[in-house]
Amino acid sequence: MYGLTTQELKILRSLNTAPKIQDFLDALPINFEKNGETYMSPRRVLRERTAHCMEGAMLAALALRLQGHKPLVMDLKVTDEDDDHVIAVFQRKGMWGAISKTNHGTCRYRDPIYRSIRELAMTFFHEYAEPKGKKILRSYSRPVDLSRFDAKGWMTAEEDVYYVPEYIDAVRHYDVLPGTDVAFLRPADAMERRIGAVLEWKGAKRLTTLHSEYS
């Protein structure tokens, strides 16, 4: 199925609930891209046993697909002070939830209790801050169905699947601050900044922003 091997299918089918998928991703060390930028397919993630947010979102979307869901991901776009974050999104009984691969104590899993994609996206607003406390989430994309890339082999490719993040970055995004005076926003306080700076996986490369490319 989908060009996956028997062993790959066995692993992915064992992740038969969203919490199990999240637990699997949490157990994978963060991909610090020590040899250069990567966008590994789910096959390569299973083999290399490491992932960053985009790679984790694609694997989660594939595991959800095997449960009968559409393989959906969503982009959370921020200011130039940090990097975007990509999550896999899913529905249960009409409510939205999210699976997230991150190296930080924030911007993680969301239970499927949100009535709309906007409502889900807005839960990340107060968590997404740069080191001085500025809240930097500015927009979110509509969910992107990764099945549009089936012909390109996004699930099993040996080469980096750059076309996936490039497409996601270019789709329509929706503002989270329509008409709001950004200067009026209260910065994250010292406690929030300390929590946001907690790292799950320590790497050789120092992270200079709260969420960074390794989020």
pLDDT band at 183 (very low <50, low <70, confident <90, very high): confident
- For 9-56, the pLDDT digits (tens) are 999 999 999 999 999 999 999 999 999 999 999 999 999 999 999 999
Tokens matching residue 64? 């959800």
Backbone dihedral region for residue 3 (phi beyond 0: left; psi -120 to 50: alpha; all else: beta): left
pLDDT at 30: 97
- For 49-79, the pLDDT digits (tens) are 999 999 999 999 999 999 999 999 999 999 9
What whole-number distance in Å separates Cα of residue 13 and Cα of residue 208? 37
- CATH architecture, domain 6-196: Roll (3.10)
What whole-number distance in Å separates Cα of residue 28 and Cα of residue 46? 9
DSSP string, 23-91: HHHHHSPB---TTS-----HHHHHHHT-B-HHHHHHHHHHHHHHTT---EEEEEEE-TTS--EEEEEEE
Domain ranges of the chain: 6-196
Q: Which residue has the higher pLDDT, 93 or 203?
A: 93
pLDDT at 176: 94
